[in-house]
Amino acid sequence: MEDEREAAPFEVSNEPISHGGGGGGGGGEKTAEKKKKVVVVMGATGAGKSRVAIDLASHFSGVEVVNADSMQVYRGLDVLTNKVPLPDRNGSIDPSVEFTSRDFRDLSIPIIDDILSRDGLPVVVGGTNYYIQALVSPFLVDDVVENLASCSLDGPQELGGADEVASFEQLKEIDPVAANRIHPNDHRKIKRYLNLYESSGVLPSHLFQGENAEKWGRADSFRYNCCFVWVDVSLPVLDRYVEQRVDCMIDAGLLDEVHDIYSPNTDYTRGICQAIGVREFEMFFKSYFSIEESNEVPRPDLSEILDMNGGELKTLLIEAINKLKANTRKLVRRQKRRLNQLKAYFGWDLHCIDATEAFSCNSGDTWHKIVIEPCVNVVRNFLLEESSSLTGKQEPCLQSKNLVLRDLWTQYICEACGNQVLRGAHEWEQHKQGRGHRKRIFRLKKRLDSSRAG
């Protein structure tokens, strides 16, 4: 499932509308002062981003799509990661390696620049928003690490291996400020912070403060002149769609794909095994492979387990599928929340196209009218307009100035909600307004009042 990659572009092109090589102004010679134009299609998993990007190719000449999906980039798991058809792909990454946002940026920029040099139109599409931030922003954590490490007196640090719980305790000991910035269960980020410190000797908290934080992902420092198209779908409709899509993936061979890469010692923080839809089946396959296979009693075929009359395997499989659906719904919410943050705090000018009605009607004509026509109009206007300034700087949204004022360094713990950890004042305030928190507070107050009365 998307976490949302195929780093090299898959190409689709057609004729109609010319865009003057992406330089703006509808044609003419590109000047050194103008940033070149790139279209970026964003949205939550299942919202139809890839379909929009490919449909744009029938309206604009020279479209080449660069996939910014962090799981589709890897070779394998075609069904689980919902890749486009093989003829539309070009390039993939070894599924066992770690492919970071910096790797994506360093691989994509030459590809995009090559497309632009041939008067093509790069369309970046994907739900991995950190990849897109890394691509359009000149600031990246890895670059700062190199700069700071060269000035560090401490140099690389030796850290012993530790389990997930011990790793967070280790981070708290090394850099309590950075530990406050992340959730104790965010094992991937904890590992990332520890690796940064081990390789460079630089405290992770130094990377996210002061001038560095001001540069990251801000609209006024983009590498390209970007047109952001946000394909959005209402949560109830998208929830139903992604659940149906999981069922379709099961029918299309998802279990066979995960079966082929299963290992009892899998590292779920690295490579393609990070994809939603791999770890969820761990207990099922652990039980499946524990069945002693013999000539008399072979292991059941994966496609037949859901049709069995009860049994542990069927129960574990149903639990795994439900967990996959739940985690996909959570991913959708994280992606939508991140897009809202990019708009509110980073000043990104996101053109939101509401595709809800098209999903409800499930008609090709409705999709074209509700989604594609507005997208085409947005992109056409972008390609015809002059750059916002001759220096190529895009006007930042006033809200983007709030970025450095956001409190991401204070950790709040809500005892009423089972010691839930909240990161920063903004997250804490949102949590306090939530229905679940307010219900628990109400019940606690009621219980307290009753005990006092007694």
Dihedral sign from CA coordinates of 152, 154, 158, 160: negative
pLDDT at residue 333 greater than cutoff 80 = yes
How confident is the model at residue 406, as a pLDDT? 53
pTM assigned to the model: 0.74
Look at 48-52, 358-362, 406-410 and tell me which has the smallest mean pLDDT.
Answer: 406-410
- The domains of the chain, with CATH numbers, are 34-137+218-386 (3.40.50.300), 140-150+162-216 (1.10.20.140), 411-452 (no CATH)
pLDDT tens digits along 118-169 = 999 999 998 788 899 889 887 665 555 444 444 444 545 556 555 666 888 8
Torsion of the alpha carbons at 178, 103, 139 and 200, rounded to the nearest 10: 50
* pLDDT recorded at residue 142: 54
Give the pLDDT of residue 152. Answer: 44
Average pLDDT over residues 325-333: 95
pLDDT at 345: 78
Phi/psi for 201 (5° steps) reads: 80, 5
Tell me if 159 sits within 8 A of 170, measured CB to CB. yes
Taking the CA atoms of 437, 440, 442 and 445 in sequence, report the sign of the dihedral they define: negative
CB 233 within 8 A of CB 44: yes
Question: What's the chain's average pLDDT?
Answer: 80
pLDDT recorded at residue 86: 81
Residue percentage of the chain with pLDDT more than 70: 76
What is the pLDDT, as a whole number, of residue 300? 87
- Give the residue, 29 or 154, on which the prediction is more confident: 154
pLDDT band at 14 (very low <50, low <70, confident <90, very high): very low
In percent, the amount of the chain with pLDDT more than 90 equals 41
- Range with lowest mean pLDDT among 76-90, 126-140, 291-305, 373-387: 291-305
pLDDT at 209 (0 to 100) = 65
Provide the pLDDT confidence category of residue 408 given band limits of 50, 70 and 90: low
Please state the rounded mean pLDDT for residues 51-63: 94
> Would you say 230 and 42 are in contact if contact means Cβ atoms under 8 Å apart?
yes
pLDDT value of residue 279? 94
pLDDT for 420 equals 84
Question: Which tops the pLDDT comparison, 80 or 180?
Answer: 80
**Residue 397 phi/psi, 5° resolution?**
-65, 145
Q: What local confidence, expressed as pLDDT, does residue 208 receive?
A: 65
pLDDT at 401: 44
Pairing verdict, β 350-354 and 225-232: parallel
Number of neighbouring beta carbons within 10 Å of residue 191: 18
